[in-house]
A and B are shown apart, each in its own frame.
Chain A
Amino acid sequence: MITLNKKILPILLPLIIIIFWYIFTVPIVLVPNYVMPSPIMVVASAYQLIISGKLFTHIISTLIKVLSGLLLASVIAIPLGVLLGWSQNLEDMSKFIVGILRPIPPVAWIPFSILWFGIGLIPGIFIIFMGCFFPILIYTIDGAKRTDKVLIESGKTLGTSNFQTITKIIFPSSIPTIISGLKVGVGIALMCTVTAEMVASNSGLGYLIMNSSQLFDTGAVVVGMLSIGIIGLIFDLIFKKIQNKIFW
């Protein structure tokens, strides 16, 4: 049995897929190229999009929306979640609203986002906000609620006020769960961005995909799709790094 180098293992499968993909699109043309572009067409499209600077512009546009939507959602959902996780009364009070708003798919907000904010960056950010607000909120509430009671009581016997209990004990104790919530949030944010860009935008990777498909440039469609995948992968790696740093 040949032992494989651990570093080669993850790229083995993509390599095989690309080889088969090449075989069935270039020497043996199974389906027309506008239905299934060949790897060569994808590389050509990628080259075009890169040297024209278009790919960069679309990636930046998508990233700006994802990050600002995520940031906005975090700034509101994290403090709110810590507060709701701390006080059973506040949580009971908000149960219905959260319960009803949460199941609404973010894309259902598209009509209102266009009506309220028109076309451009803002409606996209709004949809991302709606999409990742609830997962971050729910995770934060959960983390806050699971704060070890003995830590809260230790704090009280050391002199913490209610406010200090929240900021100095419940919040730090919830950080690992909050990070998990952010990780879920990023995934949803990417999904929302691309969907929003397909309908109500004139930039971003979602727009690139939609626009290229209308021009039958399926190579560019694949470039757009792969870019989204790579961004997601990078975010995942970043969160894994952060999670490894957190030990409580």
Chain B
Amino acid sequence: MTIEIKSLSKTFKTHGKEVFALKDINLKIENKDFVCLLGPSGCGKTTLLRLIGGLEKGDNGKILEDEKLITKPSKERGFVFQQYSLFPWLTVLDNVTFGLDLGNDSKEENIRRARTYLKSVGLESSENLYPHELSGGMKQRVAIIRSLVNKPKTLLMDEPFSALDIQNRHKLQEEIVRIWKKTEKTIIFVTHDVDEAVFLADHIVLMGRNPGHIKEVYDSKLSRPRSRNSEEFLAIQSHILEGLES
């Protein structure tokens, strides 16, 4: 799924004041790319991701998905939110089948499919738990597969691991790379953490603020699996840091 953003701008009006969140964004994301949107807080990363997700409307410009205008949310574009977003009244299993149950397939088939995904992230024994009984890392795993089970072409993720401790964050980063390789999705991943961006992405979109804009798109040739201690990793990391500070 190719996503093309053309001269996109977005302002918010709050209390009569206008906040220029994004100005003249141009970006092309190819099918099966792993892209990170990286920048300091307030530079419009969330806004840009929400615009791609169809959760927000731009003032100017347009976003095309395979030449078609994005106007509203769709299950073709899965979204994992920064906040925990599981339905608290549903069990893990029912959360995962939520999207499938909106369609016409039988409940048994939906459960069977949900279980294979639960198994892939090691949550098969937690299917009857409720969200409040899960750790932060488990919640985000369930949120990820709740989207994936719908077979979206693109997965949009907004700092999904920012609330997790470092061990869990690293574990989930590895899992998402594994999922990306296996399912061949386009992933657009928002983060403010340089280390996370370098570990995950092949294309890092560096953003700046006031108003939100793209500074540079860095194409990383780092081979996988990636090691945080390798010289190349550290070199790219310091290059990106420089780019952000300039």
Contacts and interface: CB of A to CB of B under 8 A. Distances in A.
B113 to A, nearest CB: 14
Interface in A124-157: 148, 150-151, 153-157
B89 A157 contact: no
A79 interface: no
Contact of B88 (A155, A164, A247): A247
Contacts of A159: 74-75, 99, 102-103, 150
B89 A172 contact: yes
B85 A151 contact: yes
A157 B130 contact: no
Given A158-B150, A159-B150, A153 B102 contact: no
A203 interface: no
Nearest to B132: A247
Contacts of A154: 79, 81, 85, 87, 143, 146
Interface in A6-41: none
Chain B CB within 10 Å, residue with most, of A156, A160, A164, A172: A156
A247 B130 contact: yes
B218 interface: no
Contacts of B79: 153-154, 157
A150 B85 contact: yes
Nearest to A164: B102
A169 interface: yes
Interface string A167-183: 01100110100000000
A88 B59 CA distance: 23
A248 B94 CA distance: 15
Nearest to A246: B89
B147 A157 contact: yes
Given A153-B73, A247-B130, A173 B99 contact: no
A142 B143 CA distance: 27
A157 B74 contact: yes
B73 A150 contact: no
By size class, the interface of chain A is: 10 to 19
Contacts of B55: 153, 156-157
A4 to B, nearest CB: 36
A160 B72 CA distance: 12
A173 B75 contact: no
Interface in B95-139: 98-99, 102-103, 130, 132
A175 B98 CA distance: 19
Contacts of B81: 150, 153-154
Nearest to A161: B102
B58 interface: no
A88 B130 CA distance: 31
A173 B73 contact: no
A234 to B, nearest CB: 27
A39 to B, nearest CB: 48
Given A157-B73, A160-B102, A248 B150 contact: no
A147 to B, nearest CB: 11
Nearest to A175: B89
A160 B73 CA distance: 10
A173 B89 CA distance: 8
B162 interface: no
A164 B53 CA distance: 19
B139 to A, nearest CB: 12
B77 interface: yes
B83 interface: yes
Contacts of A173: 87-89
Nearest to A176: B89
B78 interface: yes
Of the candidates B85, B103, B150, the one having the most CB atoms from chain A within 10 angstroms of its own CB is: B85
B3 to A, nearest CB: 15
Contacts of B75: 157-159
Interface of A: 148, 150-151, 153-160, 164, 168-169, 172-173, 175, 247-248
Report, nearest first, the 4 A-B pairs whose CB atoms are least far apart. A248-B88, A158-B99, A159-B75, A157-B79
Given A151-B87, A158-B146, A248-B132, 10 more contacts: A150-B83, A154-B143, A155-B98, A159-B75, A160-B102, A164-B102, A169-B87, A247-B88, A247-B132, A248-B88
